Structures are given as C-alpha cells and as structure tokens.
Structure 1
C-alpha cells in the first residue's frame, strides 16, 4: 500500500506555493518535510488532505485517485493545528466527530492516551495550552487508525519529556508497518532521530528526497583551513559551503568520492577534518541564501 503524489501544483494569492511536487510514501516509513518558513509545507499537507483543491497533479492510494474516490479520505488523517472550528468543543466531543468520520477510530486508545498525558476529555480545547493542544492533535490523529498521518509541527510547545514520549508513540505506530507518518517540523535534531527520509522544499519545489541512511554513507562534512582567505572554486562548484570564519571553511559534499578527495587534496589545504554530518547541516547547505550567508560569515 502506498500514497503517491504526482505533479502537485497549487497557487495561493497568485503565488506558486506548490510547484510540480512528486513523491511516494510506503507504509512503515516516517518522512520529514523540511524547509524554511513559507515554502509550502502546510499547504502541501492541506492539499493532499483535501482542504485545498490542487490546480494540477493528482494523489493516489494504491493507484486509486483520491479526487474520484472520496471514501479513500478515511485513509488520511491531518488535524490542522491552525484550525479553530473545534476550539469551543471538548476533547471527547471532537472524538465523537472523528468517530463518525473514521470507521476504524479507536476510542479506547484515545481515552488511554488522554489519561496518560493528563488531558481532561471534558475540557474545551480553547482552554488547552499550546503544548496541550499540540499533544491532543497527535493523540487524535493516532486514534483514527488511518494508515497515513500528517503532523504539522507536532513538537511545537511540548516540554522535553513529553516530546520524547510523543516520538516514542510515533516510532511504535510506524513500526507496525501499517502506518506511514509525514512530519513537517523545524525541530531538525529530534526529527533526524526518527525519520527514514527527508523531503526538502525550496520556493514551492521539492529539491531533495534524502534517504538518510544513504546520505550518511555518501556525504561528508569537512572543515578545511587554507593559508590565505581565498575559497577554492572546487568547494563552490561541488560542495555546499556552510560557514566561513577567517581561513576556516566548513563545507558539505553530498556525493563524496575518491576522485573528489584527490581533487580536494590538489587545493592544498593546510588542515582537513571530517565532522559529524546532521540534517541541520543539509538544511543550512541547501537553504542558506546570499543574505543569510553574509550574516553567518
């Protein structure tokens, strides 16, 4: 079973928010959607889940189009954290609504998770703190038993202990191989610990689909020191410069080969060191623009 997005386009306020987005997600995967503010992460989730109508492209589950098979919507769960229409309802009232919408909704799981995290089922959502509301949306999504979960900034506002527990819940759900989870988040360090893939968006386009295991084996983050402050053209042409401090350059090479090492040696650095590579490094390498680079320098 798989969810496939093909050529998805969406304009909002006459701006191209999504531009030819294509990818496929299999059950058992946890996929991170990353990018700078305003690149279309939330729009992508809303469009896939039918809150927005796509201008172009299509979405299928096992080859069946969502647009022509509306019953397939119960395979998707996205509780929009910015939605306000449930704020006057209690947690249990929202659950009853979702029971009507999702035939496999698990009331016992919902009740147990509320109790575990000390959320009152008879309390109105408008009285929840930001962190409590974020936690509630995760519990509600998990309880739907929909195969595909979409979580938008699910860790925002949660304390460190609750975040770790929530991440454990999501890992356990994906481990059953019956669910796929897509998470849009700016919390890259914690995201990196649980995701299998990272979809990187820039200006409404999907610029990278990283398989993290493959990325870690092929990419290198190097710290280089040169005698003068000139940056060799090789670093700009084949790498992504993360930072420059005097004669010290930190650069990421996404496809580091023996031939590249030979060419790098020919630039005669006086010092070279391999550094741990993180998802944050890839974010910085691909999404830092000229203005940011000046500030970082």
Structure 2
C-alpha cells in the first residue's frame, strides 16, 4: 500500500501555492511537512483530501486515482481544524457523521479516548477550548481507521502533559506498520522527536525531503570564528548559514565529507566547534533569506 503525490499543483487566488509536488508515503511512517507561514501546508492537505481540486497532477492510493474513485477517500483522513461546520455540532454528532463516511470507524477507540481525556461528547465544539478542540480532532482522526492521517498543527494549544500523551498516541498508531501520519507543525522540537522524515516546502516547491536518520549521519552543524567579519565563500557555497553574530558564524553542512573538512581548515578559523544539529537548524538554514540575517545577528 502506498500514497503517491504526482506533479500536484494548485493555485489559490491566482497564485501558485503548490507547484508540481512529487512524493510517496508508505505506512509505518510519520512525516513532517514543514515550511514558513503561508507556504501551502494546509493547501496541500486539503488538495490531497479532495477539499480542493488540483489544477494539475494526481493523488494515487495503491496506483489508483482518487479523484475518479471517491471510495478511495476512505483511505485518507484529514480533520480540518478550520472547518466551521464543526462548531455548531456536538462531538457525538460529528462522530456519527464520520461513522457514515468511514465504514471502519472505531467507535470503541473513540469512546475510550474521549473518556480518557475527559472530553464531553454532548457539548458543542464551539464551547471547547482551543486545546480541547485540537485533542478532539486527533481522537477523531485516529478513530477513522484510515491508513493515511493528515494532522494540521495538532499540538497547537495543548498543554505539555496532553502533548506528551498525544505524541504517544501517534507513535502507537504507526507502530504496527499499517498507518502513516503526515503532520504540518511549527512545533519543530517536539516534531523532531517522532518523525522519520521531513518534507520541506518553499515557494510552492519541495526543496528537501530529509530522511532524518541519514541526515544526522551525514550533516554537521559548526560554530566558526574568524579574525575578520567577512564570511568565507566556502561557507556560502557548501553550507547553509544559520546565524551570524559579529565574527561568529553558525553554519550547517548537509554533506560533510573529508574533502570539505580539509577545505574548511584552509579557511583558517580561529575557533571551531561542533554543535548538536536539530530540525530547527535545518529549518533556519534552508528557509532563512538574505534579508533575515540582520535579524539573526
């Protein structure tokens, strides 16, 4: 079983929000979709799940085109946190609706999780707090039994204890290898602890598709100090600068080879130190523009 996104493009307000995206998702993965605000993460989820029709490209489940076979949408679950029709219904009513949409809806799991987290099933969702609503969308998603779940900012508004429990739920859902979860989130520190892969979006395109285990083995984050404030050309050509503060430069090299190490030594830094590399570092290294450097200085 696989989910394939093939040349997917979508314009919003005559602007190319998604441009020829290609990737494949396999069950057993937790994949993070990361990018700056407005890059199209929510648009991507809505287009995959049929809320928006693509302008070009296809969404395939096991090689079958979803748009021509609506029953395949039962394999996908996206509870849109911005869906306004939720607000006037109770949690129980929404669950009834999802039972009709997903024949394998796990009512026992839904009831168990709602009870565990003390969410009232007879209260209208407009009376839920932001954290309660976020937790409800996760419970609803995992109860659909769909193999592919899409979560948009699932940790937003949750307190630290519930976040830890939610992350445990998500890990449990993929542990048997039958489900995949795609998460769009700005909470990179907690996302890093559970995802296997990070797809990075910029200007409507996928600029990186990181397998995190491979990335950590190959990449290096270094803090360098030079006698002069000028940044050596090697750092810009082969690395991605995270921050600049006077003569102190923090840079990420995604493919740190022995040859690069020798070339770096030839730039004669007066100080060099390896630092822990995080998903936040990759975000800043790839998505920080030139005009942002002053803010980082």
Provide the rounded CA distance (Å) in 2 between the counterparts of 1:245 and 1:86: 48
Aligned to 2:217: 217
Instruction: Report how far residue 212 of structure 1 moved.
Output: 0.1
Aligned to 1:92: 92
5+ unaligned residues in a row in structure 1: which ranges? Answer: none
**CA offset digits 1:87-117 (Å, max 9, x no partner):** 1111011000000000100101000000110
Instruction: Report how far residue 28 of structure 1 moved.
Output: 0.3
Scaled by the length of structure 2, what TM-score is found?
0.99
Paired residue secondary structure (1:138): helix
Give the number of aligned pairs. Answer: 297
Aligned to 1:272: 272
Name which of structure 1's ranges 180-189 and 221-230 shifts more when overlaid on structure 2. Answer: 221-230
Aligned to 2:73: 73
CA RMSD of aligned residues (A): 0.6
5+ unaligned residues in a row in structure 2: which ranges? Answer: none
Instruction: Report how far residue 176 of structure 1 moved.
Output: 1.4
Aligned to 1:169: 169
**CA offset digits 1:158-194 (Å, max 9, x no partner):** 0000000000000000111110000000000000000
Instruction: Report how far residue 291 of structure 1 moved.
Output: 2.1
**CA offset digits 1:119-150 (Å, max 9, x no partner):** 01111101000110010000000000100000
Aligned to 1:190: 190
Structure 1 moving runs of 4+ over 6 Å: none
**CA offset digits 1:23-52 (Å, max 9, x no partner):** 000000000000000000000000000000
Scaled by the length of structure 1, what TM-score is found?
0.99
Instruction: Report how far residue 246 of structure 1 moved.
Output: 1.3
Paired residue secondary structure (1:87): helix
Provide the rounded CA distance (Å) in 2 between the counterparts of 1:167 and 1:79: 17
Aligned to 2:104: 104
Instruction: Report how far residue 261 of structure 1 moved.
Output: 0.2
Instruction: Report how far residue 290 of structure 1 moved.
Output: 1.9
Instruction: Report how far residue 245 of structure 1 moved.
Output: 1.1
Aligned to 1:34: 34
Matched, 1:281 2:278: no
Task: Give 1:254-265 correspondences, 5 Å limit.
Answer: 254-265=254-265
Instruction: Report how far residue 289 of structure 1 moved.
Output: 1.0
